[in-house]
Amino acid sequence: MQRKDLLTANAPIFKATGQALNQYADKNCKVIVVGNPANTNAMIASKFAPNIPRKNFSALTRLDENRAVGILAERLNIHCSNLKNFIIWGNHSATMVPDF
């Protein structure tokens, strides 16, 4: 599934989530978005939750990180737990870059 497909499916969900957060959540809450494309979905939710500071929104790409760690560990013939300091930069798309 490509980024545009994910956005088409998820944008309305994160719009509604942002609106609900804005109406019901404590204004000091922390919001963690995990639905891909995570950083774009976090931006959408924050746009529809103007009462919550944008700095309180974070996006996680744990699924992509886990996949990349698994692939690298398999290629190195080591266990995943032996890989440290691994991070994914970018969004859930062809522009994502693993860093280790």
Residue at token pair 């760690």: 69
Residue at token pair 């699924």: 63
The reply to whether 92 belongs to the active site is yes
Q: What's the angle, vertex CA 2, arms to CA 75 and CA 100, rounded to 5?
A: 35
Considering the candidates 92, 93, 94, 100, report the single residue annotated as catalytic: 92
Task: State the Rg of the chain over Cα.
Answer: 16
Name the 3-class secondary structure at 57: strand
- Positions marked active-site: 92
